[in-house]
Amino acid sequence: MKRYFPLLFCWLLLLPAVAFAAAGSDPEEQFQRLHGYYQRLLNTDEGEKRENWQRAARALQELHRQQARQEVGAKSLYLLGNLYHQLYRRSGIPLDLAEAITSLQEVQGLYPNHPLADDALFYVAHIFLYEQQDWQRAEQVLKRLLDLYPAGDVAPGAREMLATIGGGRAGSTGSERPVLQADGRYKRPVAPAQPPETRRSASTDQKAERRIAVLPVRHWSSERYTRVVVETEAPLNFRSHLQENGDGPQRLYLDLDGARLSPRIDSPVKQVADGLLQRIHHLQTAAGGVRLILDTQTRLDDYKIFSLDNPHRVVIDLIGQPAPTPPPLPTPPPVMARPATGESLSLAQQLGMGVRRIVIDPGHGGKDPGAISPSGIKEKDVTLRISRLLAAQLRRQGNEVILTRDRDIFLPLEERTAIANSHEADLFISVHANAAANRQARGVETYILDVVASDDQAMRVAARENASSARSFSELQGIVQELLNHAKLQESQQLAEFVHQTTLTSLRGAFGGQIEDRGVRRAPFVVLIGAQMPALLVEVGFLSNPEEERLLADERYLNRLVQGIAEGINHYANNLSLAER
Ligand SMILES: [Zn+2]
């Protein structure tokens, strides 16, 4: 029963914004349009008008009426429940919540054999528990769910939830608020809690508003790696705990104190099912925090959790062998330029060698311009231009190339590495341009990841590229230390040495000795953290230096540069193939 959830929630991201009033079109298309419109209600100003929600609700009801007992009918009804729940979060009108519960209950009642039936009941239990603090009714629904669908994919989550709320129950009423204990179980409070009707009083709302919102979780998957990023509106403390289960799947708990779930989170359970991570539960605890529970599909080899700021986020890397059954629906890649199929095979490919797919990462983008030259040239534009040229060059050599961004958009650092990992790239190259207070500083430098920076200058470069303060920088070193075990350090060092040398040689061939060799260096760059393949960051010149500013706008310089980088990659690949023979 796992195929529908991922499908449904992938659409959230993909559907184009199209008007949905298109009678007579294919029901599936109608559903998709409505789903797209629902997404707009969640994310744009259109969601501020109640009438828009009601319009969407009416259209979904109509679609369900026309498609009763059909696949689209079941999905429409489920989405209707979803929509009313979100509307309630905005309106606070109890009737909206009642509509949500009714629609979801009807999914199970009308479509008991549909894969969404158990999900719908689970959703209802979440609403009872977290919107109404009615753990008794939540318990009833969960028991019914387990009776009817003991082997369904939400059954483990339902059992966990049942165990969690299984504190005192005798003589209690539905109005009592369960309290999360230190051991992770809920318990009924000794003193009577607020009755439900005062729950949304102004003071309660203000208190809730003061809590830090946890935004929808993002994730990237490959066969043996999953990165989950939890972004929050402000920094907050987190605690984690891994629950072992023999050799079986594990549960990873992430507790965020003083937090609330953003209304943009549209489902209590996010299904992932990528072979490593089964699903993520989002729980609003009665104690005023958020708990995320990550159910793995297999026993992890390793996992790492670290936080980054600007914006504030917690990054969870899971590493392991995938569960025997492959994922039914892999997550679509967030941003990528479709690789053109090269006509000729590179030497590495002819030899069946290890460098085939290369991810190139143009530094910065969108709201983050990177360094800016005195005359106003932005690093983000320079890096994109170079990356496109480099991609073209590498494709001509028969490599498959993926750009983390192919236009001027903002992309968080951890997402760039995640794109490389989830595409199982063989190499990761992050392209940057340098800047320094000293306008005389010039030249090319190539970096790989390390805990300690090679020197003060390298540290300043990393701090600038990480867009982080000195303080978080020192915290970062602790993170890197832990993560280095998985980094391909020797390979990265060799790759960096080849690329650095061929780049210098190529540039000097045209521009002579004025191109300064600043060497291969090391520093803790966030964009390199967690890369599962040889990875480097190249600083292609100084935008702060008047002469290099000119060069970085000169096509001849850029062409020489990408030829040099590409040649270094070839050397590396050929060297690998020799080593393996
Ligand atoms: Zn940069």
CA of 369 to the centre of ligand 1 (A): 9
Mean pLDDT, range 173-193, rounded to an integer: 40
Q: What does the alpha-carbon distance between residue 129 and residue 137 come to, in Å, rounded to a whole number?
A: 8
Using 50, 70 and 90 to split pLDDT, how confident is the model at 417? very high
CA of 386 to the centre of ligand 1 (A): 13
CA of 330 to the centre of ligand 1 (A): 31
CA of 522 to the centre of ligand 1 (A): 15
CA of 528 to the centre of ligand 1 (A): 13
CA of 281 to the centre of ligand 1 (A): 36
Task: Name the average pLDDT for the chain.
Answer: 80
| Residue 445 predicted with pLDDT over 90 | yes
Using 50, 70 and 90 to split pLDDT, how confident is the model at 483? low
CA of 370 to the centre of ligand 1 (A): 5
Using 50, 70 and 90 to split pLDDT, how confident is the model at 171? very low
Sheet of 225-231, strand order: 218-222, 225-231, 313-320, 300-308
CA of 433 to the centre of ligand 1 (A): 6
Model pLDDT, residue 120: 92
Q: How many helices (H) and strands (E) does the chain have?
A: 17, 19
CA of 465 to the centre of ligand 1 (A): 5
At what angle are helices 71-91 and 4-14 packed, to 10 degrees?
A: 60
| Residue 487 predicted with pLDDT over 90 | no
CA of 364 to the centre of ligand 1 (A): 6
CA of 417 to the centre of ligand 1 (A): 15
CA of 46 to the centre of ligand 1 (A): 36
CA of 337 to the centre of ligand 1 (A): 21
Model pLDDT, residue 243: 87
Closest-CA residue to 393 (of 360, 371, 368, 363): 360
Using 50, 70 and 90 to split pLDDT, how confident is the model at 474? low
- Facing residues of 283 across strands? 291
**Percent of the chain topping pLDDT 90:** 40
Mean pLDDT, range 279-290, rounded to an integer: 85
CA of 510 to the centre of ligand 1 (A): 25
Phi, psi of 33 (to 5 degrees): -65, -40
How do beta strands 259-261 and 212-214 pair?
parallel
Phi, psi of 352 (to 5 degrees): 65, 35
CA of 212 to the centre of ligand 1 (A): 30
**Looking at the domain 347-580, which fold is it?**
Aminopeptidase (3.40.630)
Model pLDDT, residue 579: 60
Most confident of 343-352, 375-384, 473-482: 375-384
Report pLDDT digits (tens) over 210-259. 789 999 999 998 878 899 999 998 888 889 988 887 888 899 999 998 89
CA of 378 to the centre of ligand 1 (A): 10
> Based on C-alpha coordinates, what's the Rg of the chain?
26
Report pLDDT digits (tens) over 68-89. 888 899 999 999 999 998 888 8
The token pair that represents 466 in the structure block: 């990480």
CA of 432 to the centre of ligand 1 (A): 4
Cβ-contact 433, 391 below 8 angstroms = no
CA of 388 to the centre of ligand 1 (A): 16
CA of 434 to the centre of ligand 1 (A): 7
Phi, psi of 322 (to 5 degrees): -70, 155
| Residue 558 predicted with pLDDT over 50 | yes
| Residue 519 predicted with pLDDT over 80 | yes
CA of 442 to the centre of ligand 1 (A): 15
CA of 540 to the centre of ligand 1 (A): 10
Q: What does the alpha-carbon distance between residue 355 and residue 570 come to, in Å, rounded to a whole number?
A: 9
First to last CA, the chain: 47
Q: What does the alpha-carbon distance between residue 525 and residue 283 come to, in Å, rounded to a whole number?
A: 33
CA of 463 to the centre of ligand 1 (A): 10
CA of 485 to the centre of ligand 1 (A): 25
3-state secondary structure of 186: strand
Q: Which residue has the tokens 């026309």?
A: 66
CA of 317 to the centre of ligand 1 (A): 24
CA of 380 to the centre of ligand 1 (A): 8
Least confident of 15-24, 227-236, 322-331, 452-461: 15-24
Cβ-contact 174, 193 below 8 angstroms = no
CA of 438 to the centre of ligand 1 (A): 17
Cβ-contact 384, 365 below 8 angstroms = yes
Mean pLDDT, range 442-451, rounded to an integer: 93
CA of 414 to the centre of ligand 1 (A): 14
CA of 280 to the centre of ligand 1 (A): 33
CA of 533 to the centre of ligand 1 (A): 21
CA of 371 to the centre of ligand 1 (A): 7
The token pair that represents 486 in the structure block: 């998985």
Cβ-contact 80, 123 below 8 angstroms = no
3-state secondary structure of 372: strand
CA of 315 to the centre of ligand 1 (A): 21
CA of 379 to the centre of ligand 1 (A): 7
Model pLDDT, residue 448: 95
Tally the C-alpha atoms within 13 A of residue 550's C-alpha that lie toward its C-beta: 3
Using 50, 70 and 90 to split pLDDT, how confident is the model at 482? low
| Residue 166 predicted with pLDDT over 50 | yes
Least confident of 224-233, 319-328, 390-399, 433-442: 319-328
Q: What does the alpha-carbon distance between residue 346 and residue 478 come to, in Å, rounded to a whole number?
A: 40
CA of 368 to the centre of ligand 1 (A): 10
CA of 537 to the centre of ligand 1 (A): 9
Predicted TM-score of the model (pTM): 0.59
Show me where the domains of the chain are located: 4-201, 211-320, 347-580
Report pLDDT digits (tens) over 335-368. 443 333 433 444 444 444 567 899 999 999 999 9
Sequence-ordered strand ranges (E) for 112-175: none
Model pLDDT, residue 537: 98
Phi, psi of 299 (to 5 degrees): -75, 130
Cβ atoms within 10 A of the Cβ of 557, count? 19
* Percent of residues in the chain assigned helix, strand, coil, to nearest 5: 45, 20, 35
Q: What does the alpha-carbon distance between residue 552 and residue 543 come to, in Å, rounded to a whole number?
A: 8
CATH 1.25.40.10 is the classification of domain 4-201: yes
**Looking at the domain 211-320, which fold is it?**
Immunoglobulin-like (2.60.40)
